[in-house]
A and B are shown apart, each in its own frame.
Chain A
């Protein structure tokens, strides 16, 4: 790391004798951000940790009663919550796998000399920059069984994408794949372009087949960056709310964030929802940890 080049915080330094000392400047620059994040992220979480041990309901004026771990016990024993987690897991697997296949595949296609490559790449990246809620809404029209262009384009006569409970989750995943494959593509392209060309030349001289070249050269070298894309998308898919909430109201698409939202803001089981939020939080922090480890690993290369 750059620590050996770090400026020492010497209050007697020449620069410090004029104007503020480096120490003052450092604190002035860093502390407000830390305080802001603690006040608006960490403090609310502590607040809700407290509520997670109560039967508080924000819709009534009744005081909150301490119930200990009862909320957590009830949640972990609730088969419906486990079903929500199962739906979330299925959604994560389908949509992340789809994004990796499509995104990496397109990146492989783009990783050669193609006319207007830069322009085409930017066009392909467009979906991920758009609002999930607003574009997701429009997919309702695309999926419409009677006049949607998807059924028309694929010759599916009146196929019920969003109102068939068995299909709805896949429909949401398809929209998510459309939006976020570009992200995997972007990272894969960076990884692919970093593979040294001489490795391919050496493989060609050795008459290595395309499969050998792909599995022994391309994939191992792109793997770390691809891993970052996968972990990041897994985390985002786990938290997913907008798309599924907007596209359909099927019970089979009730991912855990939607359950949490309904519990907190429609059923007003505030205490219980805080407990569920904490269960989710622990899972997210675990994935974040893995993600940051990989980020640092790739950075060091």
Chain B
């Protein structure tokens, strides 16, 4: 670029910076709105004009985790004073916490759905990345007859519409009793992520010079030793990036989870919308659930920022 900038170029750059700023604000507004609604008192969530300044509370999160019901009669002052701070927050919102016979609080449906999401996403990620790394190494280093066709076959399984795959899987799972089980969902997500992980890992392994392994083989390593002691450590960044991608995909998945799970193994994506139901939904609680659910992904996105391009293009475009 020319070192000297004309006045019009400077002006143009200022306009560009201003536009970028506006675009960024528009793009982040929905995410900001989720976050701020998650900390609002219920009566401020749906006001006109929208409430921007407010005193943040954590009552939406208390309500998110505990079972509660409508308050029929106001608690007596003694009851109110005896209640712990988080119960008072629920009282203030016109609701009460449901307690069982022994007076213990009960959890709402959210924590178990969140845990299901975590279990299914973590286990399927480990399986998909483990198998994917081995397969990628196989395709990267050895002669395979019809290599391109196999790779295309592997990729094409990733492109199948979820609902199309779900119909026969649902029937087969019903036969094997796998509907609404963690294992059933883990198998589906592993299959879904496996092709992605093969393609991404192949790109990463292709970049590791084969001279490293060959030197190790000359030094008396077996091929397996060379793979575990030379290739895997070299591919560590790639494996981590692939794993985070697979985790995010499994974490966010909706269609399979909607069709294959009802209760026991239900993950958060089909559960959160099912809370809206009829009547006036409590948007602060939905926002709190959404916020907690999005938080890990937002953190991972920042960790992944240098690999996003590669992951999103199945390893085809590298920088």
Measured CB to CB, the residues of A under 8 A from B are 2-3, 5-9, 14-16, 18-20, 22, 25-26, 28-30, 32-34, 36-37, 40-42, 44-45, 47-48, 51, 58, 106, 109-110, 112-115, 118, 120-135, 137-142, 144, 146-147, 149, 152, 178, 182-183, 186-187, 189-190, 193, 197, 201, 204, 225, 228, 235, 239, 241-242, 246, 257, 260-261, 264-265, 270, 273-274, 277, 280-281, 284-285, 287-288, 291-292, 295, 298-299
Q: In the complex, are the beta carbons of B142 and A106 less than 8 A apart? A: no
Q: In the complex, are the beta carbons of B19 and A18 less than 8 A apart? A: no
Q: In the complex, are the beta carbons of B135 and A277 less than 8 A apart? A: no
> What interface size band does chain B fall in?
35 or more
Q: In the complex, are the beta carbons of A239 and B161 less than 8 A apart? A: yes
Q: In the complex, are the beta carbons of B135 and A29 less than 8 A apart? A: yes
Q: In the complex, are the beta carbons of B163 and A261 less than 8 A apart? A: yes
| Contact pick for A137, options B221, B286, B297, CB 8 Å | B286
Enumerate chain B residues within 8 angstroms of A201, measured Cβ to Cβ: 2
| Contact pick for B254, options A29, A132, A140, CB 8 Å | A132
Enumerate chain B residues within 8 angstroms of A264, measured Cβ to Cβ: 163, 166-167, 170
Give the Cβ gap from A139 to chain B, nearest Cβ, in Å: 7
Known: A131-B252, A239-B161, A277-B161; 7 extra A-B contacts, CB below 8 A, are: A22-B142, A109-B19, A134-B269, A149-B50, A193-B319, A257-B255, A264-B170
Enumerate chain A residues within 8 angstroms of B24, measured Cβ to Cβ: 120, 123-124
Enumerate chain B residues within 8 angstroms of A142, measured Cβ to Cβ: 30, 33
* Residue in B closest to A41 when the chains form the complex, CB atoms: B157
Interface pick from B86-94, B103-111, B186-194: B186-194
Q: Please, how many angstroms separate the alpha-carbon atoms of A112 and B15 in the complex? A: 12
Q: Please, how many angstroms separate the alpha-carbon atoms of A125 and B235 in the complex? A: 25
Enumerate chain A residues within 8 angstroms of B276, measured Cβ to Cβ: 137, 140
Write the B211-250 contact mask toward A (1 if CB under 8 angstroms, else 0): 0000001001111111100000000000000000000100
Is B82 positioned at the interface, with any CB of A under 8 Å from its CB? Answer: no
Q: In the complex, are the beta carbons of B137 and A33 less than 8 A apart? A: no
| Contact pick for A235, options B138, B159, B259, CB 8 Å | B159
Instruction: Knowing A44-B172, A48-B167, A109-B19 are in contact, say whether A133-B248 is a contact too (CB < 8 A).
Output: no
> Interface on chain B toward A: helix, strand, loop, or mixed SS?
helix
Q: In the complex, are the beta carbons of B316 and A298 less than 8 A apart? A: yes
Q: In the complex, are the beta carbons of A106 and B23 less than 8 A apart? A: yes
Instruction: Knowing A146-B48, A228-B316 are in contact, say whether A129-B222 is a contact too (CB < 8 A).
Output: no
Enumerate chain B residues within 8 angstroms of A147, measured Cβ to Cβ: 46-48, 50
Enumerate chain B residues within 8 angstroms of A37, measured Cβ to Cβ: 153-154, 157, 191, 194-195
Q: In the complex, are the beta carbons of A20 and B286 less than 8 A apart? A: no
Is B305 positioned at the interface, with any CB of A under 8 Å from its CB? Answer: yes
Sample (16) of A-B pairs whose CB atoms are under 8 Å apart: A15-B223, A33-B154, A34-B153, A37-B153, A40-B188, A48-B171, A118-B305, A126-B31, A133-B272, A134-B269, A140-B276, A141-B33, A141-B283, A152-B49, A187-B312, A299-B316
Q: In the complex, are the beta carbons of B252 and A132 less than 8 A apart? A: yes
Is B200 positioned at the interface, with any CB of A under 8 Å from its CB? Answer: no
Q: In the complex, are the beta carbons of A131 and B160 less than 8 A apart? A: no
Is B273 positioned at the interface, with any CB of A under 8 Å from its CB? Answer: yes
